[in-house]
Amino acid sequence: MSAQTLHSMDPSVVDREVLATGGPFGLAGRRTVVTGAAMGIGRGIAEMFRQAGADVLLSDLDGTALAAAAAALPDGPGRVATVQCDISADDAGEALAAACVEQFGGIDILVNNAGIYPQVPVLQMTPELLDHVYRVNLRGLVLASKAAAARMVAQGTGGRVINIASIDSLRPSMVGLAAYDASKGGVLMFTRSLALELAPHNITVNAVAPGGITTEGSQRPLEGSGMTPEQQEEVMRTFAARVPLGRMGTPSDIAGATVFLASSAAAYVTGSVIVVDGGALLT
């Protein structure tokens, strides 16, 4: 198969038969919360979890987009519910865990995907912006993980916590994302620390580090960057040109890695990060 053929393949194609029939990657009956699920990576994760048989509780700050995302989920054996939630709120984690228990009778998987990435150089950064990025990207993730893990420990049947980090956890990608990069670096270290703590309870904790992913958010000028849509498009083209696999990623690329970490195939994987970037960190 030629490189040209590989690059032209539809990246959203997954093995539907493997997902539908269960096997090592099936998630039938697994009660799941996905944060930031109204669009982009979160929506792609919710879609593939549904196809894999999971019960999926979609959470997002945008209630209208959340309802639309839930209505558009592909058919699957699992149940679907939604809860509008501001992950930066002090009680968000407890509210999410309680909603999953109320809807599905328990919680087996938490996917911490919600995040923001305003682009502001450090010398122009306000304390308010820094605090907001940390409350959403790290603090909210920590408290959601705490609440979900407490329920999983009480259930006594193990579980999965999967954090969506970033290749910026490992290397800065551009000027202006210092707050985002620092928060995602924190996500990576928290993943490892929590994995160690929860291992005796058969709860695995892992992270997925996406590279450049084409989403609704990435197609808009970055907040605070001052770039026009045309300039933003040029930045994305330049980034894609440096990716060894020759394209930007899609939400389904991240969803596939997330399904793996949630499945029985990854039962002996914890405290790890899977980089899904088309080889961008190699360049």
Q: What is the pLDDT of residue 239?
A: 74
221-249 mean pLDDT: 74
d(CA 3, CA 250): 19
Q: What is the pLDDT of residue 216?
A: 66
d(CA 207, CA 270): 9
Q: What is the pLDDT of residue 198?
A: 98
- Laid out side by side, the sheet with 80-84 consists of 80-84, 55-60, 31-35, 109-112, 159-164, 203-210, 273-276
Q: Among 3-7, 14-18, 175-179, 220-224, which is the least confidently predicted range?
A: 3-7
Q: How confident is the model at residue 98 (pLDDT cuts 50, 70, 90)?
A: very high
Q: What is the pLDDT of residue 220?
A: 52
Q: How confident is the model at residue 243 (pLDDT cuts 50, 70, 90)?
A: very high
Q: Under CATH, which number does the domain 17-212+251-274 receive?
A: 3.40.50.720
Which residues are tagged catalytic?
A: 180
Q: What is the value of pTM for the model shown?
A: 0.88
Q: Is the pLDDT of residue 166 over 60?
A: yes
Instruction: Return the domain boundaries, the chain.
Output: 17-212+251-274
Instruction: Encode pLDDT of 15-53 as tens digits.
Output: 444 444 568 899 999 999 999 999 999 999 999 999 999
Q: Is the pLDDT of residue 8 over 60?
A: no
145-172 mean pLDDT: 97
Q: Is the pLDDT of residue 221 over 80?
A: no
User: What value does the mean pLDDT of the chain take?
Assistant: 89
Q: Is the pLDDT of residue 13 over 50?
A: no
